[in-house]
Amino acid sequence: MKIYSNRYTTTYLTAIIAILIMSISVIAPVTVEDTTTIATVNVNEFLSITLTGSVDFESVNENTVDNPDKEPLVVTVEPETNIVGIKVKTEADTDFFSGPAVDTLAIGNMKWNGTAYTTSPVDVCTGLSATGISVCEIDHTLTIPSILTAGTYTVSITITATNA
């Protein structure tokens, strides 16, 4: 068998070989690099409360027991709070009321919701949140002992709200 070759046959065969080589290079596996990263964020705790009301016993007589204040203190957890399980504590800043007679009206004579005040923080309300129970009322009473000098007596109390 005789094979004839000319310049067109050679060009045609070269083109076929080039197409086959290109096809092989397209079929060849491609390496892909894949990386993963983790996005993190730290959302800060935000606690917002409003304290309304007052501890005001107005005018009372000596030798009286459990005189009520005229309105309760109301602690309200505001909607922007993002903490669940808030507790409210109260404490007196000193052991005695200040007034005309020094060291005579003890802080233990004042009670919140039936419990005597101390200078140590005590839980008044627990489990508060902006989405659940959001209001805490604190009622106060005051017992005035006999033979107490007339006049105005004051004491500072601290109300603290914290993440339980």
Across 71-75, average pLDDT: 94
Q: Residue 29 has what pLDDT?
A: 64
Higher pLDDT, 17 or 127: 127
Rounded Cα gap, residues 31 and 28, in angstroms:
10
Higher pLDDT, 30 or 3: 30
Confidence of residue 30 (pLDDT cuts 50, 70, 90): low
Q: Residue 52 has what pLDDT?
A: 95
Among the residue ranges 16-20, 82-86, 124-128, the one predicted with the least confidence is 16-20
Across 14-30, average pLDDT: 53
pLDDT of 1 > 50? The answer is no
pLDDT of 77 > 80? The answer is yes
Q: Where are the beta strands (DSSP E) in 45-129?
A: 49-52, 64-68, 73-77, 84-92, 110-112, 115-116, 122-129
Contacts of 70 by beta carbon, 8 Å cutoff, 6+ apart: 54, 56, 57, 58
Contacts of 10 by beta carbon, 8 Å cutoff, 6+ apart: none
Rounded Cα gap, residues 59 and 150, in angstroms:
10
pLDDT of 23 > 80? The answer is no
pLDDT of 14 > 80? The answer is no
Structural domains for the chain: 49-163 (2.60.40.1090)
| Chain position carrying tokens 């060849």 | 28
Q: What is the pTM of this model?
A: 0.71
| Triad 143, 153, 55: Cα angle to 5° | 65
Q: Which tokens belong to 92?
A: 């007196």
Query: Average model confidence (pLDDT) for the chain?
Result: 85
Q: Residue 18 has what pLDDT?
A: 52
Residue 150 vs residues 68, 144, 145: alpha-carbon distances, Å: 19, 11, 12
Tell me the pLDDT tens digit for each residue of 107-148: 999 999 999 999 999 999 999 998 888 999 999 999 999 888
Contacts of 94 by beta carbon, 8 Å cutoff, 6+ apart: 107, 119, 155, 156
